[in-house]
Amino acid sequence: MQREFKTLKLETPKPGLLVVTLDRPDVRNALNTQMGLDLRDLFVPLKFTPGELRCIIVTGAGDKAFCAGGDLKERNGMSDEDWRLQHAIFEEGYYAVGQCPVPVIAAVNGAAFAGGCELALMCDFIYAAAGARFALTEVSLGIMPGAGGTQNLPRAVGLRRAKELILTAMPFTAEQALEWGMVNEICAPAELMARAVAAADRICENAPISVRQAKKSMDHGMQVDLNTGLAFEVQSYERMITTEDRREGMRAFNEKRKPRFAGR
């Protein structure tokens, strides 16, 4: 896995856990072409070769913003073709976040507008700092959400609420996002990363193949009818039967000790 990026800071506080920080605090971590390339180059390989990773946390540098959305200064004066090419990079990076086989937690430490809100929605679940704000503002700029916003927000808050938020470009608070089901929990700003890390620790302690298969089953099952989803769940379940981790889990339970899962 590549470790050095121009706009991302990577940390591994403990084995299996990767913290990815959007690192352009001087512009509220706005998404420029380089950040798109960095997200793509980090997450695309993980789709197929996650290695020893068991959980990822995505957050923003500083205390003002998770990500303010696209860097509009960079976009000013772009040709149509340059705009299309840049957006293709964003699509590749964002879709790879959404399709990452290991769980991805968003720790939203401030404003998450436009592409920043869409990046949080691409993650598996969201913890937000008190005072964080969200918005999908694209229609006020002559464009529309194009990195998953029109698909992920309705799935999170319901179609009618999503239409209201996207078509009005209206900002909303972390408290509203929690009430509507988009955010899992609101934390004091100083406690946000500790809460995200605590959840990630619990995930990292569990059997990694089981976690990945359960995530895959939920993600695929939500796109199909119930009977098809149930059939996919059984197929996902059967993947665990022959694993060393399944045997270790049973041994540990009966020996009254903590299991040591190896991901095999």
CA dist 154 and 159 (Å) reads 5
Q: Is 138 a catalytic residue?
A: yes
Q: 56, 63, 58, 199: which is closest to 130 by C-alpha?
A: 63
Catalytic residue (one of 118, 185, 238, 255):
118
Q: Long-range contacts of range 259-263, CB-CB < 8 Å, 24 or more positions apart?
A: 259/207, 261/205, 261/206, 261/207, 261/208, 263/52, 263/54, 263/207, 263/208, 263/209
Work out whether strand 8-14 and strand 17-22 pair parallel, antiparallel, or are unpaired. antiparallel
What tokens appear for 247 in the block? 């045997």
Q: CB–CB of 59/111 below 8 Å?
A: no
Map tokens 């937000």 to a residue.
128
Which alpha helices (DSSP H) does 29-186 contain, by range? 33-46, 72-75, 80-98, 115-122, 149-157, 159-168, 174-180
Catalytic residue (one of 138, 164, 175, 248):
138
Q: 89, 88, 129: which is closest to 110 by C-alpha?
A: 129
DSSP string over 82-103: HHHHHHHHHHHHHHHHHT-SS-
CA distances from 232 to 154, 227, 236, 240, 242 (A): 24, 9, 6, 14, 18
Beta bridge partners of 129: 187
Active centre residues (catalytic): 118, 138
